Amino acid sequence: MEQILQKISEYVEIGKAEKNSPYPSDLKGIDGASELTLQALEMGIKPNTILNDALLIGMRRIGEKFSSGKAFIPNLLISAKAMNAALEHLKPFFESGEAVFKGKIILGTVKGDLHDIGKNLVKMVMKGEGWEVVDIGVDVSSEKFIDALKSHPGAIVGLSALLTTTMMNMENIVHSVKEYDSSTKIFVGGAPLSRQFCDKIGADGYFPDPHSFAKSFHAN
């Protein structure tokens, strides 16, 4: 059991999603994270064990490389893709409650802003970290964030913006969401953002990249 879990984590780290994934080329034709996850389930390994002791370990390892400048956003995405391929097999267990998401996050680019790549990268990495992500798009108003919270009570909220002008619209959204439910945690990110700005508008945290964001929720 140890061995298969270790292999899965290794394949998530290097981004070997499936048997027919073309990269890394030397592993072409060999079972990837997806097939091995199925095999692990067949061996009777618990879905939560596969999630926590294999998939998330792989994501964490690539995350550490990212933090130390040895890996870059595409590496995180390649790993998250392998992770998601494996997660497909765990889906039924999430539905039945046998496996649990790390949490739920509502993500949107704020009103006035149409840039979605930053938000989409956060979405992919958070999914890969075992989060359930509700993507509500770009140019999102306070009302839309609140509507999403009504449908997904207890979720945390992530706001993205790329320009200083649109970043100003975050303040209003933070206030409205906190007014609706003061216990909702709101996180902000995007190129012109800073911790100072986050504190000034009363948001709960600023992260420069999706990895540091995901890491802030790790238990240790």
Partner 1 sequence: MNYDAIEISIPFYEITPSTSQVLQAMGYPPESDNLQLKDSIEERINEAKLHVSATAGFKIIAPLDFIISKNQFSIAGVEFDSKKIITSQIRKADTIAIFTASLGSAFDQWSKKVQSENILDGYIIDTIGSETVELAADVIEEKINQVVTGEDYFCSSRFSPGYCEWSVAEQHKLFSFLPKNFCGISLTESALMNPIKSVSGIIGIGLNVKKLDYHCRICTQENCYKKKHLV
Binding site for partner 1 (CB under 8 A): 15, 22-25, 72-74, 77-78, 80-81, 112-117, 120-121, 123-124, 163-166, 168-169, 191-194
58 contacts which partner out of partner 1, ligand B12, none, CB within 5 to 8 A by kind? Answer: none
Comparing CB distances to partner 1, the nearer of 35 and 135 is 135
Spatial CA neighbour of 191 closest among 93, 89, 88, 121: 121
Distance between alpha carbon 159 and the CA centroid of its chain, in Å?
14
Contact 149, 181 (CB under 8 A): yes
Beta-carbon neighbour count of residue 216 at 10 Å?
10
Say what angle helices 73-96 and 33-42 make with each other, to 10 degrees: 30
What is the C-alpha to C-alpha distance for residues 180 and 21, in angstroms, rounded to an integer?
46
The interface partner of residue 160, options being ligand B12, partner 1, none and the CB cut-off 5 to 8 Å by kind, is: ligand B12
Q: How far is the CB of 172 from ligand B12 (least distance, A)?
A: 17
Residues contacting 171, CB < 8 A, separation 6+ = 200, 201, 202
**128 is an interface residue for ligand B12 by CB under 6 A:** no
**Which residue among 60, 111, 115, 123 contacts ligand B12 (CB under 6 A)?**
115
Give the contacts of 93 (CB within 8 A, at least 6 positions apart). 47, 48, 99
Minimum distance from residue 138 beta carbon to ligand B12 (Å):
11
Least distance to ligand B12 from the beta carbon of 3, Å?
A: 34
CB of 159 to partner 1, least distance (A): 14
122 binds, among partner 1, ligand B12, none (CB under 5 to 8 A by kind): ligand B12
Tokens of 208: 């420069």
Residue 113 Cβ vs partner 1, minimum distance, rounded to whole Å: 6
Site residues, ligand B12 (CB under 6 A): 73, 115, 117-119, 121-122, 158-160, 162-164, 187-192, 207, 209-210, 213
